Amino acid sequence: MEISANLYGDKEMDSETKGKSPSQSSVESRYLVMPSQANPYGTAFGGAIMAWIDMVASMSAQRHCGKETVTAGMDSLSFIEPIRIGDQVVLKACVNYAGTTSMEVGVQVSREDPTTGSSSIVTSAHLTFVALNKNKKPAAVPPVIPVTEEEKHRYASAKTRVMVRKELRRKNV
């Protein structure tokens, strides 16, 4: 189905319809875990990490579409190992797939202990962002053009997840 940008009242879309690669939307952020972000046992609050994930994913979605975006949803999240006070948390995000007005952003989160140099992946997340036009209505986004084999694999997996999410919402599950 060919989507007209005008359907969304979004004239600026014309110059952006060619699409962007995931590397053009990639964002990397690093945070130091402070006591204010931890529980009484010295490990990070999951909610603090989730806020950082939302922040970095949002910046990636904005880099892709060049518009205001809102978080529509985040898939389930599992923490594989604890993150401690003093650890550095590294978040890497990029847009895996774009639909008509929505984008799936993947975020990988790892922790680094600066005293030992050890690092490990602690979680990963998939979030959906929707671009908005000036009237705060969903606006068309450029397609994602995967370049590397890894990007092509992530694109195909994301496309499947988008279909599954739509079906679950349709069934109200």
| Residues in touch with ligand COA (CB under 6 A) | 70-73, 99-102, 128, 130, 138, 165-166
Query: Residue 102 Cβ, how far from ligand COA at the closest point, in Å?
Result: 3
- Is 50 in a helix, a strand, or coil? helix
Query: Residue 169 Cβ, how far from ligand COA at the closest point, in Å?
Result: 6
Cβ closer to ligand COA: 70 or 121? 70
Residue 129: exposure state from Cβ atoms within 10 A (0-12, 13-18, ≥19): buried
Instruction: Give the Cα separation of 154 and 26 in Å (integer).
Output: 14
Instruction: Give the Cα separation of 43 and 26 in Å (integer).
Output: 28
In Å, how far from its chain's centre is CA 110? 15
Which residue in the shown chain puts its C-beta closest to ligand COA? 99
Cβ closer to ligand COA: 123 or 128? 128
Cβ closer to ligand COA: 97 or 122? 97
Query: Residue 127 Cβ, how far from ligand COA at the closest point, in Å?
Result: 9
